[in-house]
Structure 1
Amino acid sequence: MKWTSALAIFTLFWTMSLFLVLPFGVRTAEEAGVEHQPGHAESAPHGFSLPRTAARATILGVVLFGLYYLNYVYGWITAESLDWAH
């Protein structure tokens, strides 16, 4: 696999991971115990940390890409093994 292909696939895994980890650890103003600001939605996050979320997405993306790459190298699951018609 070319390094550019690996980078593109990792980027896809990272983006998917970002959306997967986005809701974890988010607290509303009520849950954080602070006063609700007028004009903000009740469900709006109180303190969002992009670096923490990006770090979580990177860890999950590396794990998922690692599994993908190991499957690519060792061929644990192939297209033929997923062919249920035969």
Structure 2
Amino acid sequence: MGWVSGIVVFFLIWWVALFAVLPIGTAPNPDGDPDTGWRGVPVRPRLLRKVLLTTLVAAVIWLGVYALIESDWLSFRSGWLALPEK
């Protein structure tokens, strides 16, 4: 995997991991908005902590993906996944 492909894969993994991490530790505002009653916005979202956690999770997943891509365990060039020769 080249460095551009590695960055693109990391960004995609990071983006998916962000949406998995965002709901962690959030609770709706118990009072809600007096006008609309909307209670969906958390009081303390702690976004910096979630971005750092997302980066850590994405790095671990990316290392696994990188190891899988660079290994011969899962290959389309040889083995049972290889395309038949013409």
TM tier, smaller: 0.7 to 0.9
Tell me the TM-score normalized by structure 1: 0.75
Corresponding position of 1:73: 70
Once the two structures are superposed, residues 9-57 of structure 1 have per-residue CA deviations (whole angstroms, 9 ceiling, x without a partner) of 1000000100111111112223xxxx54424612321111111110111
Report how far residue 78 of structure 1 moved: 3.8
CA RMSD of aligned residues (A): 2.1
- Structure 2 residue runs of 5 or longer lacking an equivalent are none
In 2, Cα distance between equivalents of 1:67 and 1:73: 10
Q: Which has the higher helix share?
A: 1
- Give TM-score scaled by structure 2 length: 0.75
C-alpha distance in structure 2 between counterparts of 1:23 and 1:82, whole Å: 38
Structure 1: segments with no counterpart, 5+ residues: none
In the alignment of these two chains, the number of paired residues is 79
Q: How does 1:19-30 map to 2 (within 5 A)?
A: 19-30=19-30
Percent same amino acid at aligned positions? 27
